[in-house]
Amino acid sequence: MLGTLQATWQPYVLRFKRPSGTSRGILTERKTWFLKLTEIGNPNPERTGIGECAPLPGLSIDDRPNFESRIADVCREIDNYLSDLKASLRDYPSIRFGLETALRDLENEGKRLLFPSPFVDSGRPIPINGLIWMGTPEFMRRQIKEKLASGFTCLKMKIGALDFETELNLLRDIRREYPPAEIELRVDANGAFDPDTAPEKLARLAELEIHSIEQPIPPGRPERMAEICENSPLPIALDEELIGISDEKEKHTLLATIRPQYIILKPTLVGGFAGAREWIAIAEKHNIGWWVTSALESNIGLNAIAQWTATLGDTMTHGLGTGQLYLNNIPSPLTIDSGKLYYKPQSEWDLSVLEVSS
């Protein structure tokens, strides 16, 4: 049982090793915020719970000018917010995720061991996809070669920034050498396709035996998305479509209307672990598959998402490989080997970089 809590917060800027292209532009850095919980009067300075609040610019519903003031308010009134996380942080899913994580960490002695499972207890890895960022064809081919050489058997390629024929040729290159039994290919359009021409593009992608496509058209047109899902020869996964929906009834309505083959769960964007669990329960009622993806968090957030994912049972290959993107990430026991994410406790956490930046 925890005593009286004190909360503090701290901004931190993560710097990419190399510029990373998305449908929303080129990323060179990514700002995040760490929320820390301690017990007032606890003599153990190591017992601090830490969580990450990392809204994605231009995508998260809590990407707002008043974001820092809301974190400050949460820290000042921590007991009020903890009394009803869902209602108090309905419109701030990334803060809800950070607070959930910090509280869970504090309850487990501040050791960053949040969810017991074979992932942390006995070294059982989580299969993950290799992410291919948008860029020039040469840059994307280089990434593909690097991922395949390092042992990935599932690649996810972001598409929609280049000419579609160029993107198809990149995928064809992979398929010529690696059949579906050897390499699973996923693509992520981030809503880049025009709703009128999307069916034709999906048909051409299906010829390459693509596993699935994330968010082919922009969110907010559920009836049109439903038509596309019903007629597509290629399985469709909803991603951005889920953002901003926190009411359980609305979630049921959305999935019952669109009936996608999959949904993508990013706890930072969909209301933390509680919000993601609610989406999973509803999806399974509709026989819709799912997997979990990180949203460019540091290793603090990625660790929480990975440990939680490991408790969900064997589902699919997840999108949890973003921890290697940064020059100044938080040193942690998370490592990637042959397309799998491992938690190796012999490598310790090092939070000293946070102390230096504060």
Catalytically annotated residues? 158, 266
Q: Residue 5: left if φ>0, alpha if ψ -120 to 50, beta else—which one?
A: beta
Q: In a 10 Å sphere around its CB, with 0-12 CB exposed, 13-18 middle and 19+ buried, how is residue 221 labelled?
A: middle
The answer to whether 94 touches 60, Cβ cutoff 8 Å, is yes
CA 30/CA 20 separation, integer angstroms = 11
* Burial letters 89-106, b for 16+ CB under 10 A, else e: beebbbbbbbbbbbbbbb
Sign of the alpha-carbon dihedral angle for 308, 47, 96, 214: negative
Residues 6+ apart with CB under 8 A from 267: 97, 273, 275, 276, 292, 304, 305, 308
d(Cα 93, Cα 244) in Å, to the nearest integer?
A: 9
